[in-house]
Amino acid sequence: MTLNHHRVSQLLSAYLDRELGPAETAAVQEHLLDCASCRAAYEGLRTTKELLGELPVAEPPAGFWAAVRAPWLDRRAAAARIRGVFGRRVAWASAAAVLALALAATPLVKGTIDRLHASEIGVDLYVRQHAQAMGAEPFTDRAYLGLTTGDADLVLSGDAPPAGAAPR
C-alpha cells in the first residue's frame, strides 16, 4: 500500500496509538522514512500525548468521598438537580459529619465467593485479610504481601490447592 502525504498526515495519531492495521502501519512507516515534515509532525503529536499522560491524577477535594459514598445524605444536591441548577455547591461538610455514623451502622459487606463449603477456604480468606491488614504496618514488604494475597485469591476462586497444602 502506498499513501500520499495528506493521507499519512491524517493517520499519524492513529499510528502513534498503534490503532492502524498492518498494511496502513507499514505504509505510514515507509512514508515517515522519506518525509521530514511528517516526522516532525509525528514527534509533535507524540510529545503532546506524552505531556497529557504525565498530568497528575486530580485529587478530589475534602468531603468528596463522604458525599459520593452517602448520596442519600445530600438533600441539597438533590434539590439542585430538581431545579436543574448545577452550579450550586452542595453541603459537603455536613455530609461528612453524618457519614461517620452512617458507616458505623451500615456493614459494608461484599462477597461473591460462593464456594465456601470447603473447610480449606477459611484459612486462605483469613490469610488474605491478614496480609491486607499488614499493609498498615510501616515496613511491610508490599511485593511479599501481593504474592500472599494473590496465592490466596487463587484458592478462593477454586483454582489452586489451599495454602499450606502439599506442594504442587
5 binds another protein (CB under 8 A): no
Can you tell me which of 1, 26, 93, 147 binds another protein, judged by CB under 8 A?
147
Instruction: Candidates 7, 10, 26, 97: give the one binding another protein (CB under 8 A).
Output: 10
> What is the C-alpha to C-alpha distance for residues 107 and 133, in angstroms, rounded to an integer?
18
145 near another protein (CB under 8 A) = yes
**Should residue 141 be labelled a site residue for another protein when binding is judged by CB under 8 A?**
yes
- Burial class of residue 101 in the structure, from the number of CB atoms within 10 Å of its CB (0-12 exposed, 13-18 middle, 19+ buried): exposed
Q: Which of 29, 64, 93, 97 binds another protein (CB under 8 A)?
A: 64
20 to 39, contacts with another protein by CB under 8 A? none
In the bound complex, what is the minimum distance in angstroms from residue 99's beta carbon to another protein?
A: 9
| Count of other CB atoms within 10 angstroms of residue 152 | 24
Contacts of 135 (CB under 8 A, 6+ apart): 142, 145
Of the candidates 1, 19, 26, 93, which one interacts with another protein according to CB under 8 A? Answer: 19
The answer to whether residues 22 and 55 touch, using CB atoms and an 8 Å cutoff, is: no
